[in-house]
Structure 1
Amino acid sequence: MSLKQLDGHTILIGLMAYPIRHSMSPTMHNHAFEKLGLNFAYLAFEITNDKLPKAIEAIKTLDMRGSNVSMPNNQKVIPYLDKLDPATEMIGAVNTIVNDDGVLTGYTTDGTGMIKSLDDEGIDIRGKKMTLAGAGGAGTAIAIQCALDGVKEISIFNRDDEFFQQAKRNVELINEKTDCKATLHRLEDKEDFKNEINSAYIYADATSVGMKPLEDQSLVNDPSWLRKDLVVFDTVYAPRTTKLMEVAQKAGVKQVFDGLGMMLEQGAAAFKLWTGEDMPVDYIHNILFDDND
């Protein structure tokens, strides 16, 4: 965002999550605003669950155009919003808030962003089997959007923690509302986890494992678990090479992806919701990828 564009008419958009200082979203959106000559500014705010109610109220109070929302707030934010997009209501998690004259509507663009990022790489997961770790905001969006878009089978793994019931809900909803077959598994069962990864076309990790402060960890540590023709997708993009990606590279996996492409495509969808304009995706792609390889 160029300083010469900041004035008394600049419209603020936020990003509310914790931790969030590593995020590349401010770089992405502010460069896009500048490129298109739009008088917006995008700032990151470290917001935990306890600060969330006042933070959401501030969107209305400050007449912000909206905000992105990420962990740990994707699901906790829903009671504070006025409306949900129909697909988002099914997913039960929000990553984008749009403020229309004081009416806050929640959307989720994570799932479509993930699928679009794979499409951009020539990878079509429709009609295939996915093994997915995680049932938080991103994991839920990915599971349900992939089921809606034609993935044939999804094995969902989660620890027996506060998100396990969400994982159970995701499986039930997919089986009830889509043609996809979903099954629920416990991450504690390592042999089951290994077998489900081995039988999948794509393994996707939608947990925070691999992200600071867990950057030296991975749910998969043994390269023998990963076939060379498996697609490995990690939603984490900072660090650019996660522990999972290192394990996959040691296994000789040819198609290994971090979450930067997904972040770009979900961001482009949110950008459109806020501004009505198409994000200059190729321009932003070059900034994010070339500057951070």
Structure 2
Amino acid sequence: MTEVFGVIGHPIKHSLSPVMHNAAFRHLNYDGIYLAFEVRSGELESALNGARALGIRGLNITIPHKERAAEILTPDRAVEEIGACNTADLSEWRCYNTDVHGVLMALREAGIDINGIRVLVVGAGGAGKACIYALRDAGEVFVTNRTAERGREVARRFGVEFIEMEGLATQSFDLIVNATPIGMKGFPDTLPVPEEVVRRCSAVFDMVYNPPETRLVKVGRKYGCRIASGVDMLIYQGAKAFEIFTGLKAPVDVMKRAVVSELEKLA
């Protein structure tokens, strides 16, 4: 019997997770299918219970559900500390955060040394929390957020410093990470921070992968910044989720080729 997996979020039609996972299933001759499910705010708990009742094995979880899902499902230790998840094993009603792995691997692929660097994480949602968790012991981490109260709360949670958006102009960072949907298809095509802040940094990591060349990435390239790819973030967090779902080693190269090919078609 074909095993069913998927991704839930809103909006979700932009997701390339089905392309990536279904390519892996085909490559390994695994009898599985991966689908995208539109789930709006307020419908998450019903969706998770319904998916389990239907026998869906596992789900990836994206905007805007990463934090609420961590409250509904049984979290592993990392999820307890982060307060957000992106992967659910519904057969065990457990959730995990593979975004942490995705962050570290994307930075490694870009040749960015994270030891001792000053990092600005833009965004205090689930993706931002995973990034802060991944980097806080490696360097000096700062967080900024459009809603200051939420940003301060997350900064306190992780023991890092909050900087208001208005105060960024006087600051310098080695790495800027966009952990917001700004720049994603369907969201504002703007910079998440003032251009002057990007000009003074040496590396940029935009978690947005569709399109791969966001305005932040373009401006970063203009100033000679090293660029960490949102595509690599997607691939490596997805590969880790695939392994949780199936117990098999993920064919990372196959998954990446499938995503890059699809992005070229969408360009």
Q: What TM-score, normalized to structure 1?
A: 0.84
Q: What is aligned with 2:60?
A: 68
Greater CA deviation, 213-222 or 272-281?
213-222
Q: Pairwise mapping of residues 50-65 of structure 1 onto structure 2 (< 5 A)? A: 50-65=42-57
Q: Give the aligned CA root-mean-square deviation in angstroms.
A: 1.8
Match of 1:275 among 246, 252, 264: 246
Structure 1 residue ranges, 4+ long, deviating more than 4 angstroms after superposition: none
Structure having greater relative contact order (Cα 8 Å, sep ≥ 6)? 2
Q: What is aligned with 2:112?
A: 123
User: Does 2:202 align with 1:213?
Assistant: no
User: Does 2:222 align with 1:247?
Assistant: no
Whole-angstrom distance in 1 between the partners of 2:183 and 2:106: 20
Offset from partner CA, 1:48-101 (integer Å, 9 cap, x none)? 1122121111121011111000001111223321x111011100001000022x
Structure number, greater radius of gyration:
1
2:33 match: secondary structure = strand
Unaligned runs of 5+ in 2: none
Amino acid at match of 2:56: M
User: Does 2:79 align with 1:88?
Assistant: yes
Identity of paired residues, percent? Answer: 32
CA distance change for structure 1 residues 137 and 41 in 2, over 3 Å: closer, same or farther? same
1:75 match: secondary structure = helix
Q: What is aligned with 2:237?
A: 266
Match of 2:102 among 108, 113, 135: 113
Match of 2:142 among 139, 155, 158: 155
Whole-angstrom distance in 2 between the partners of 1:77 and 1:274: 17
Displacement of 1:229 in angstroms is 6.0
Displacement of 1:228 in angstroms is 7.0
Q: What TM-score, normalized to structure 2?
A: 0.92
Q: What is aligned with 1:233?
A: 205
Amino acid at match of 2:142: S
Matched length: 264
Match of 1:186 among 159, 164, 180: 164
Amino acid at match of 2:209: Y
Q: Pairwise mapping of residues 132-143 of structure 1 onto structure 2 (< 5 A)? A: 132-143=121-132
Contact 2:211 2:263 in 1 (8 A): no
1:44 match: secondary structure = strand
Offset from partner CA, 1:79-126 (integer Å, 9 cap, x none)? 321x111011100001000022xx310111112211111112222212
Whole-angstrom distance in 2 between the partners of 1:74 and 1:45: 15
User: Does 2:6 align with 1:14?
Assistant: yes
Amino acid at match of 1:283: V
Unaligned runs of 5+ in 1: 1-8, 176-181
